[in-house]
Amino acid sequence: MKLGTAESAPGDVATGYLSVTELPTGQSEQVPVVVVDGEKPGPTIWVTGTIHGDEPTGMEAIHEFVDRIRDEPLAGAVVCIPVMNPSGLRTNARTSYYGGEDPNRYFGIEGGDGETPPSVQQLICDRVYEEIKASADAVISLHTSWIATYPYTIRPRVSYGERREETAARELRDRLVELVDAFGLPAVNQFGHDETTQRSLDHTLTGAAIGDGIPAFTPELGGRFVVEKDVCEAAVVGLQNVLYASGMVSEPAAARMAFELPAEDNLKRLVHPHTDTAGVVRYRVREGEWVEPGQVVADIVTPTGETETEVRVEHPGYVLSRYEGVAVYENDPLLDMAVPDDEPLLRKSHD
């Protein structure tokens, strides 16, 4: 396999760089690549990390994962891009600095917007995604969330209609569920269809891959800014077990995940609740905790400490993340939650 300057042969581990755009300083912007090429034929699994530059745990998990599998008998290939957003990594920022854009909203977009040509970030995403589409049998896009986050995996929804028949969609859904289960973190379905569209999540790497019929999912590996070693280890185990579920290695990882949601059921993502009062937030809950409708999850207080209001939840579910910062404005979100899902994972597209 050849990817950028990385050129592998069966049984090899090759490293190199893929040039994705030219910089005003005369150099190329490059993303690092690692190819673990098995001695036997088999699937090709792509693993990406740090598409948001302040999310380093995915990068570290890829490094450790490659170290563990480099001497293992492997059927197929594992292709890794540890850092998908080099400019964000340099500045420890979520976005790229080409135009301050979220780099995970530009995959699978055809052309520009009317007479406006594609931005630099879209060009980069296009060039990387063309490489992924050419060989990927599955894609794992490693992320982290807010600082205070319980690790979980986002399981995207699958649709059928114009782009695929229902039978093909069911096969894609079933394969997706199998791989997410193998990874081992608690599974939470993506936002409902309308919110997924509103947030442009169809054009994340995972969303675009699913649209093209490639099983893909997004583990959220705890919080951002620092590498959480326990979550990193869990991700390495999960990646090894995805290889086992794909028939690429003969044995699963010996260790298992330490993270679970004890009453886990069919859950989906929800940003809830929001505060209707400005002030300073004091949380009464933490990540991984189950909450009931009507439960007070936070107090909004004045800078001098007097309580302005109590914020309650309307839905039962788990707290996935507490939002960062203590100063809040009207209608600011406070929590990411996993709540009972009222939509099917497989749906007919009405587009």
Query: What pTM did the predictor assign?
Result: 0.96
Measured between alpha carbons, how far is 305 from 307 in angstroms, rounded to an integer? 6
Q: At 130, phi and psi to the nearest 5?
A: -60, -40
CATH number of the domain at 276, please. 2.40.50.100
CATH number of the domain at 19, please. 3.40.630.10
pLDDT of 264 > 70? The answer is no
Does one domain contain both 114 and 209? yes
Does one domain contain both 226 and 281? no
Q: Indicate the residue type of 129.
A: Y
**Predicted pLDDT at 349:** 83
- pLDDT tens digits for 110-121? 765 567 889 999
What value does the mean pLDDT of the chain take?
95
**Predicted pLDDT at 172:** 98
Integer-rounded Cα radius of gyration of the chain: 21
Task: Say if residue 340 is preceded by a cis peptide, omega within 30 of 0.
Answer: no
Measured between alpha carbons, how far is 311 from 334 in angstroms, rounded to an integer? 9
- pLDDT tens digits for 27-64? 999 999 999 999 999 999 999 999 999 999 999 999 99
Does one domain contain both 271 and 186? no
Per-residue b/e over 19-28, b at no fewer than 16 CB within 10 Å?
A: ebeeeeeeee
pLDDT of 334 > 70? The answer is yes
Domain final position from 215, 245, 275 = 245
Of 23-37, 175-189, 242-256, which gets the smallest average pLDDT? 242-256
- pLDDT tens digits for 64-107? 999 999 999 999 999 999 999 999 999 999 999 998 889 999 99
SS3 labels along 85-97:
CHHHHHHCCCCCC
Does one domain contain both 163 and 120? yes
Proportion of the chain above pLDDT 90, given as a percent: 90
* Residue 221: domain span: 2-245
Of 49-53, 96-100, 317-321, 338-342, which gets the smallest average pLDDT? 96-100
**Predicted pLDDT at 258:** 78
Does one domain contain both 150 and 227? yes
Does one domain contain both 276 and 224? no
**Predicted pLDDT at 265:** 75
Average of per-residue pLDDT across 198-204:
94
Average of per-residue pLDDT across 317-341:
97
Measured between alpha carbons, how far is 58 from 81 in angstroms, rounded to an integer? 10
Does one domain contain both 188 and 279? no
Does one domain contain both 235 and 126? yes
Q: At 274, phi and psi to the nearest 5?
A: -110, 155
Of 23-32, 107-116, 308-317, which gets the smallest average pLDDT? 107-116
pLDDT-derived band of residue 163, with 50, 70 and 90 as boundaries?
Answer: confident
**Burial, 162: exposed, middle or buried (Cβ in 10 Å; 0-12, 13-18, 19+)?**
exposed
**Predicted pLDDT at 101:** 87
16 by DSSP, 3-state: which? strand
Domain final position from 187, 212, 245 = 245
Q: Indicate the residue type of 160.
A: Y
Does one domain contain both 221 and 325? no
**Predicted pLDDT at 99:** 86
Structural domains in the chain (count): 2
**Predicted pLDDT at 261:** 86
**Predicted pLDDT at 162:** 81
**Predicted pLDDT at 254:** 77
